[in-house]
Amino acid sequence: MTAENKLDERKLDVLRAIVQDYVATREPVGSKALVERHNIGVSPATIRNEMAALEDEGYIHQPHTSAGRVPTDKGYRLFVDRLSQVKPLSGAEKRAIHTFLDGAVDLDDVVARTVRLLAQITQQVAVVQYPSLSRSAVRHVELVPLTPSRIMLVLITDTGRVEQRIVDCGTTVPEATLADVRARLNAEVGSRGLNDVPTLLADFAERFGAEDRNWVGVLIATLLDAVVEQREERIVMAGTANLARFRHDFPDTVYPVLEALEEQVVLLRLLGEAQSGLTVRIGHENAHEGLITTSVVSTGYGRGEKDVVAHLGVLGPTRMDYPGMMGAVTAVAAYVGRILAET
């Protein structure tokens, strides 16, 4: 290892120690504290020199005269990028995930439980996106007669989404005919992506006789309405009150953050920018001005790494336990994915 590489690693050790101490104490970190709390293996003078170099390079800064140093967004970014591993959940936290999520009865319940659990585990703001219809496939289409001329159409996706519509057929529909339509409809679109459904059903009504063509056409139009409806723009959020615990981490006020969180399009953009894997955006990496004092840790969830159907994550101040947040988000997403795979 060259002297330059050793120096870089030593500076990184100092930066890690500063981030860890500042996250734990919220107090600017001085060289004396680093010597007392960490076994970095160099003299106090060397630590001071490394801190000066880190400050010159923009990784830490001095908030006011005679104070220690605190990490900058650039410093947090290097810290996150050079993490060797995320913090594993404790046994109690793992049991809480299993116990809490295993009791969910449907997709709405899964999402509601997930966002509450994530907020509790991380003590941050948790955001969960509903599985996107555009990334889903048809599991089954059920047609339930309510009256001789009215049908309840139920679309069930492979991600657990359930869409219901009432169809007024305008004519009496024999049960045998309804059963035939149901069977032919499922044969046509079952296990097919929702994006493919409009093309697959383009001439479906034309395949029936004149006496059934009109009401089948109304039925298909209703189904297509359910398929293309933009309900994938649904998200849920929990833990906003947790921001009050960190109000001193925001330079002036927490209100710009709260205002940004009220805009659903902002939250969707935050989650939508995440890749299927773990993504961490720090401070000014967040495009919305109201969120430049925050960090967002997010990831995709689904039935596997290549089958992501939506995203979830947490938002909090940049002074965040990044290894802990990354571990919690990853673990919860993996468990939700297993639930979806079993549905």
11 pLDDT above the threshold of 80: yes
Together in a domain, 222 and 314: no
- Please state the domain count of the chain: 3
User: What pLDDT is recorded for position 4?
Assistant: 44
Domain that holds residue 159: 136-231
Q: Which of 215, 231, 247 is the last residue of a domain?
A: 231
Q: Are 140 and 156 spatial neighbours (Cβ–Cβ below 8 Å)?
A: yes
Together in a domain, 205 and 292: no
- Provide the CATH number for the domain around residue 69: 1.10.10.10
- Provide the CATH number for the domain around residue 157: 3.30.390.60
Together in a domain, 239 and 226: no
272 pLDDT above the threshold of 70: no
pLDDT band at 275 (very low <50, low <70, confident <90, very high): low
Lowest mean pLDDT among 67-76, 94-103, 116-125, 218-227: 94-103
Of 242, 22, 24, 235, whose CA–CA distance to 121 is shortest?
242
Together in a domain, 150 and 226: yes
Read off the amino acid at residue 239.
G
87 pLDDT above the threshold of 60: yes
Together in a domain, 194 and 273: no
0.85 surpassed by pTM: no
User: What pLDDT is recorded for position 317?
Assistant: 94
Q: Which of 231, 260, 278 is the last residue of a domain?
A: 231
User: What pLDDT is recorded for position 145?
Assistant: 94
Of 212, 175, 211, 190, whose CA–CA distance to 201 is shortest?
190
222 pLDDT above the threshold of 90: yes
Q: Is residue 275 part of a domain?
A: yes
Q: Which of 185, 203, 231 is the last residue of a domain?
A: 231
d(CA 312, CA 303): 14
User: What pLDDT is recorded for position 1?
Assistant: 45
Q: Are 181 and 175 spatial neighbours (Cβ–Cβ below 8 Å)?
A: no
User: What pLDDT is recorded for position 322?
Assistant: 95
Strand partners of residue 36:
none
Average pLDDT over residues 315-338: 93
Together in a domain, 256 and 109: yes
Q: Is residue 86 part of a domain?
A: no
